[in-house]
Structure 1
Amino acid sequence: MDFLMLLADIIKIQKDDPVAFTFFTGYMAMFAASIFFFFERSRVSDKWKTSLLVSGLITGIAAVHYYYMRDYYAITGENPTALRYIDWTLTVPLMCVEFYLLTKAAGAKLSLLWKLIAASAFMLVTGYIGEAFTDGTMFHSVLWGTISTLGYVYILYTAWAGEVKQLADKSGDPAVIKGVRYLAWFVLVGWAIYPIGYMCMPGGPFNVWFGWESSNVDLLYNIADAINKIGFGLVVYSMAVQNTDGLKGAKA
């Protein structure tokens, strides 16, 4: 009986709780996107299969974590910080891998991949310190948020003007050039949602100055995850289909 009552609490979504709604929706959306990317691998040419595999892994890993984060939030009503950062530690570097895979044909070296992974790891570790070990003061929040931003700025620069952008232009492939530009926009606009959520935590600037509730952290993070992880994959998918269809047309 106790188990059934607990289960009812886990799956119950209050109509006035948008955070719980986005946890459940995010889980289903990520799961559906993962199945889609895995199945669509058979439709694209061989050189795009790994990229779609990575897209499926990103959303698949996120779906598993959202399944547990959804239940954690339903039971405790608290931010599942540790679970979320475990998810990001696996999925954000994989998103950086997409940049490497797209520009590999143009001469991208493994050093580019490791630099992007290192920057993403630095961004996440310092962000986790700022969020998980907050003392409720704005100094702590701003200090670690600023340090974390350095990793983000490096990835942003690489995508917009640095090595990734230069390699995409060098490839001469319109699909790659367009795809890298779209992914760069995701890094600029989509990833910018995360700092807004970060600043809503206790001691964060938005929490202190405007009184934004800490529940906004989860709401913004959930929305950002769905936009960025599924969106990243859809950009890669559209490029793969466009390139594959172009090759078929040329052969015909």
Structure 2
Amino acid sequence: MLNSISLLAAVSKLDPTDYVGFTFFVGCMAMMAASAFFFLSLNQFDKKWRTSVLVSGLITFIAAVHYFYMRDYWASFGESPTFFRYVDWILTVPLMCLEFYLILKVAGAKQSLLWKMIFLSVIMLITGYIGETVDRPNAWLWGLVSGIAYFAIAYEIWLGEASKLAKAAGGNVLAAHKILCWFVLVGWAIYPLGYMMGTEGWYNSILPQGSIDVVYNIADAINKIGFGLVIYTLAVKSQKD
């Protein structure tokens, strides 16, 4: 009952021309719908792939909950909900790294690969948060560290151990791995762009400061739901083989 009242109150505060608020609202609904889809499809898969699809549902569910709060925050204060966004990312991005490990287990992926990617993702997010909120005068420096961690993840999946394991697995796993790699290289690249638009640094001569929430919201929906759909498709194809 209270959640329904909160939802109605937040929607009533949104201006019809508030496109940022609209993307928060649509993002919340899209993530929740994706979660329902992944969770309800679990029974059609065997144990081998059920965990991967479950993680996909958890990623979008966690995001949906945070978008619920971010939408309310935006409607109430008209400010970017940076704290809630980073709490969302610190939970969901490591889970996205987990997806790589889960699909590569068939080729002998070890937990060391998983922990390496999780460690890099946490460094990427913590330094990004510090740059955006705690030490904004040195945002360029924290952004540099965050960027290095991001490129380390990209290297690992494109050219490192994860890439070699995907090639060894071949078939559907290799095809899914390549698509996920493109999500990281292209889809995740939107976040550094949003970071530069929301902070001050030498890069403002190339990317002027502006609203970052629309960029982040669109990227989140594409990356998190898209990630899950790739895993779902892989599971379906593997069931048929």
**Fold agreement, TM-score > 0.5:** yes
The structure with the larger Rg is 1
Give the AA of the match of 2:127: T
Cα deviations by residue, 1:138-194 (Å, 9 ceiling, x for unpaired): xx221111110111111101111111110011113x110000000000000000110
Alpha-carbon spacing, 1:196–1:245, altered in 2? closer, same or farther (3 Å): same
Taking the aligned partners of 2:203 and 2:8, their CA distance within structure 1 comes to: 34
Q: Secondary structure at the match of 2:226?
A: helix
- Name the structure 1 match of 2:229: 234
> Is the counterpart of residue 170 in structure 1 residue 168 in structure 2?
yes
Cα deviations by residue, 1:105-143 (Å, 9 ceiling, x for unpaired): 1111111110010000000000000001244x4xx2211
- Name the structure 2 match of 1:201: 198
- Name the structure 2 match of 1:184: 181
Alpha-carbon spacing, 1:7–1:90, altered in 2? closer, same or farther (3 Å): closer
How far off its partner does 1:212 sit? Answer: 3.3
Taking the aligned partners of 2:21 and 2:201, their CA distance within structure 1 comes to: 22
> Is the counterpart of residue 126 in structure 1 residue 127 in structure 2?
yes
Alpha-carbon spacing, 1:53–1:65, altered in 2? closer, same or farther (3 Å): same
Structural mapping, 1:212-223, within 5 Å = 212-213=209-210, 215=211, 217-223=212-218
Alpha-carbon spacing, 1:210–1:115, altered in 2? closer, same or farther (3 Å): closer
Structure 1 unaligned residues grouped into runs of 5+: 247-252
Alpha-carbon spacing, 1:205–1:69, altered in 2? closer, same or farther (3 Å): farther
Using the size of structure 1 for normalisation, the TM-score is: 0.89
Cα deviations by residue, 1:72-94 (Å, 9 ceiling, x for unpaired): 01001001111110000000000
How far off its partner does 1:202 sit? Answer: 4.0
Taking the aligned partners of 2:129 and 2:40, their CA distance within structure 1 comes to: 34
Taking the aligned partners of 2:207 and 2:99, their CA distance within structure 1 comes to: 37
User: Is 194-203 or 177-186 further displaced after alignment?
Assistant: 194-203
- Name the structure 1 match of 2:116: 115
Do 1:54 and 1:98's aligned partners in 2 also have CA atoms closer than 8 Å? Answer: yes
Q: Secondary structure at the match of 1:79?
A: coil
Do 2:196 and 2:209's aligned partners in 1 also have CA atoms closer than 8 Å? Answer: no
How far off its partner does 1:211 sit? Answer: 3.9
Using the size of structure 2 for normalisation, the TM-score is: 0.93
Taking the aligned partners of 2:232 and 2:151, their CA distance within structure 1 comes to: 26
How far off its partner does 1:208 sit? Answer: 5.8
Q: Secondary structure at the match of 2:197?
A: coil
> Is the counterpart of residue 10 in structure 1 residue 7 in structure 2?
no
Do 1:126 and 1:145's aligned partners in 2 also have CA atoms closer than 8 Å? Answer: yes
Q: Secondary structure at the match of 1:93?
A: helix
Alpha-carbon spacing, 1:8–1:29, altered in 2? closer, same or farther (3 Å): closer
Structural mapping, 1:1-252, within 5 Å = 10-12=10-12, 13-135=14-136, 137=137, 140-172=138-170, 174-204=171-201, 207=204, 211-213=208-210, 215=211, 217-246=212-241
User: Is 125-134 or 185-194 further displaced after alignment?
Assistant: 125-134
Taking the aligned partners of 2:38 and 2:8, their CA distance within structure 1 comes to: 32
Give the AA of the match of 2:159: A
Give the AA of the match of 1:194: Y
- Name the structure 2 match of 1:249: none
Runs of 4+ displaced beyond 3 Å: 5-9, 204-212
User: When the two structures are aligned, how many residues end up with a matched partner?
Assistant: 236
Q: Secondary structure at the match of 2:49?
A: helix
RMSD: 1.8
- Percentage of pairs with the same residue: 55
Alpha-carbon spacing, 1:205–1:38, altered in 2? closer, same or farther (3 Å): farther
